[in-house]
Amino acid sequence: MFIDTHCHLTDRYAEPDTLDAIVNNAKNAGVGALICACAQPSDFRPAIEIAKKYDNIFCTLGIHPEYAGKEIENSFQDFLNNPKVVGIGEIGLDYHYGIENKKQQIELFKKQLLIAKTHNLPVAIHSRDAEEDTMAILNDSVRGVMHCFTGSWEFAKTMLDRGFYFSASGILTFKNANELREIFTKIPNDRVVIETDSPYCAPVPYRGKECEPAMVIETAKILSEIKNLQLDELESILESNTKNLYPKCHVKL
Ligand SMILES: [Zn+2]
């Protein structure tokens, strides 16, 4: 089975029929497990409820850098021992829209890395226009994945040395993504996972549509081409990578 290692489902929590359809579409497409990522504390409870409802859905809890500076105390503590919480994410740095709140972003990032370390959970890292600070802050004491990776080869090399995984999203299928495909060709096969980051980032040929986990297959197809692997070979590699990355993700293989 394929696993969408990073999708946002909490916006659909209040629409059980839509959520059922999304999960069924994924199953029918061969996407047997989903990891629902959080971006802010109000996502935590819905993410856990969704993971409770569906055997094949897990979640990561985290606060995206865009919420830096807001009160987050005690957001995590009630949930960290939940068996369906497989990691901390998404967390990181985003300087795309400016660096006015850089200090608060770094503070939030470090706090959450500490939570991950204390609870021995892997992290899902968001890093946009912030490679240097991300490399400076992340060290060998945490492990995890560079989610929706679109960074440079230099950045990739550093994070490879630190044992990180790299998640390919729909961006890998974009026409203008030659450089990114080149980088994923060089990343060792045992360090790659896939994701949709849905509802964002729909892959080719669905660009412009709302993305959903079933579409992760399109990223898998491109990845199998650039890695020169059969799709089913890639499928089993990605399954075992995901289990190594997220040991609490007990999917039946
Ligand atoms: Zn995300």
Q: Please check whether residue 193 lies inside any domain of the structure.
A: yes
**What tokens does 155 get?**
């950045």
**What tokens does 112 get?**
């959450």
CATH number of the domain bearing residue 184: 3.20.20.140
Length of the chain: 253
Distance from Cα 152 to the centre of ligand 1, integer Å:
19
**What tokens does 252 get?**
């039946």
Distance from Cα 59 to the centre of ligand 1, integer Å:
12
pLDDT tens sequence for the chain (253 residues) = 999 999 999 999 999 999 999 999 999 999 999 999 999 999 999 999 999 999 999 999 999 999 998 877 778 988 999 999 999 999 999 999 999 999 999 999 999 999 999 999 999 999 999 999 999 999 878 999 999 999 999 999 999 999 999 999 999 999 999 999 999 999 999 999 999 999 999 999 999 999 999 999 999 999 999 999 999 999 999 999 999 999 999 876 5
Q: Please check whether residue 93 lies inside any domain of the structure.
A: yes
Q: Please check whether residue 253 lies inside any domain of the structure.
A: no
Q: Please check whether residue 110 lies inside any domain of the structure.
A: yes
**What tokens does 198 get?**
């849905």
Distance from Cα 89 to the centre of ligand 1, integer Å:
8
Q: Please check whether residue 46 lies inside any domain of the structure.
A: yes
Report the distance separating Cα 30 and Cα 163, nearest Å: 28
Distance from Cα 123 to the centre of ligand 1, integer Å:
12
Distance from Cα 12 to the centre of ligand 1, integer Å:
15
Distance from Cα 201 to the centre of ligand 1, integer Å:
10
Report the distance separating Cα 172 and Cα 184, nearest Å: 9
Distance from Cα 248 to the centre of ligand 1, integer Å:
20
Q: What is the DSSP string of 130-190?
A: -HHHHHHH--TT--EEETT----HHHHHHHHHTT-EEEE-GGGGSTT-HHHHHHHHHS-GG
Distance from Cα 226 to the centre of ligand 1, integer Å:
24
User: What 3-state class would DSSP assign to 47?
Assistant: helix
The total of structural domains in the chain comes to: 1
Distance from Cα 252 to the centre of ligand 1, integer Å:
25
How far, CA to CA in Å, does 78 sit from each of 20, 60, 86? 27, 14, 14
Assess whether the previous peptide bond of 235 is cis (omega < 30° from 0).
no
The pLDDT, as a whole number, for residue 252 is 67
Distance from Cα 37 to the centre of ligand 1, integer Å:
6
Distance from Cα 8 to the centre of ligand 1, integer Å:
6
Q: Please check whether residue 250 lies inside any domain of the structure.
A: no
Q: Please check whether residue 142 lies inside any domain of the structure.
A: yes
Domain limits at 202?
2-245
Distance from Cα 88 to the centre of ligand 1, integer Å:
12
Distance from Cα 224 to the centre of ligand 1, integer Å:
23
Q: Please give the span between the terminal C-alpha atoms of the chain, in angstroms, as a whole number.
A: 7
Return the amino acid letter for 222.
I
Distance from Cα 47 to the centre of ligand 1, integer Å:
13
Distance from Cα 128 to the centre of ligand 1, integer Å:
12
Report the distance separating Cα 191 and Cα 208, nearest Å: 29
